[in-house]
Amino acid sequence: MPVLQRVVKPTTRRGKKVLLKREPKLIENTKHTIFLKGRKTSELLSHFLKDVYSLKKLHSTILNRKNDYLPFEDVIPIEYLLKKQDSSLFIFASNSKKRPNNVILGRTYDFHLLDMIEVGVESYRGLCDFQTEKVMLGTKPILHFIGDFETSAELSTLKSLLVDMFCGERNLNAIALAGIEHVLTFTSDTKEGKIQVKSYRIMLKKSGENTPRIELEEIGPAFDLVVRRSKIASEDLMKIACRTPHELKAKPKKNIVKNKLGTTLGRVHIKAQRINRLQTRKMKGLRKTPEERKAERLQRNKRSA
């Protein structure tokens, strides 16, 4: 027998607001992230979660209690927790003898697992190891990927996950130039099989010209990621997850083309113009003389006759 899905109806105004907030939207909200701890964690992972959480504090929640979860064996408890918190991203940290300093980055679509990557954290240096001025809370960072992330499906998926994790506020109309002060770099080292992650603060120095001189100061955290396991979404599921709503698709414009040089050319259709009746004479010296007007009247009379 087919299973009927239960329709949740709100009984209070607050419940109605919660359900309306969770409904699908044409322009999605900024993705929310949940930080989870496994059965056992190390001191390094505790600092890692706190430092990464500080970069995403406005759009994330950290749960300090320990959870007996195994995402690659059973992801249903995490899916339930993400649905309860109305989140789509999660970072799960655990430590074991087989997989020390283990972190799982994952995301969901419609509160079901889409894909996830398991990485190991090495050579970690936290925020407290850099005695420098930090960036403001909520600053949208510049994400700079160095190296080839398209050599394998795991690296390309990891790049997409990192963009979703650290892109910050999505629905922005404009960004002030002075407000761009944070850079996150991800360097792919194919020889050692690591991804080096570093964080910098942009400093604008005087240059004697209109444009300032830009310097980068490392502020932390800094660490290396080693890919261990992965669970990549199928092409069909990824296509459904990345589908653009019909209302947001750009409508084609008629009679507008671009040439080989990139110049936009438009074609305008106008009605037939009666050039003989256009009034072009504006000066007194260009007006018709009485003899010319008399000759035109005689010519019209002959045509009518």
User: Tell me, what CATH number does 176's domain have?
Assistant: 3.40.50.10480
Low-confidence ranges of the chain (pLDDT < 50): 1-2
pLDDT tens track for 101-125: 999 999 999 889 999 999 999 999 9
Rounded to the nearest 5 percent, the helix, strand and coil shares of the chain are 30, 30, 40
Residue 91: per-residue pLDDT:
96
H or E stretch including 52? Answer: helix 43-55
Residue closest to 89 by CA, chosen among 38, 21, 154, 162? 162
- Return the half-sphere exposure (C-beta side, CA atoms, 13 A cut-off) of residue 302: 6
Q: How far is CA 124 from CA 73, 132, 197, 220, 225, in A?
A: 28, 17, 10, 10, 10
Give domain status of residue 254, yes or no.
no
Residue 270 lies in a domain: no
Range of the domain at 229: 28-248
Kindly state whether residue 295 falls inside one of the protein's structural domains.
no
Q: Is residue 259 part of a domain?
A: no
Residue 278 in any domain: the answer is no
CB 198 within 8 A of CB 217: no
Q: Domain count of the chain?
A: 1
Give the helix ranges, DSSP H, for 148-304. Answer: 153-166, 235-241, 290-304
pLDDT at 15: 83
Residue 292 within a domain: no
First to last CA, the chain: 91
What local confidence, expressed as pLDDT, does residue 1 receive? 47
Does 262 fall in a domain?
no
**Burial of 116 by CB count in 10 Å (0-12 exposed, 13-18 middle, 19+ buried)?**
buried
pTM of the prediction?
Answer: 0.77
Q: Is 107 contained in some domain?
A: yes
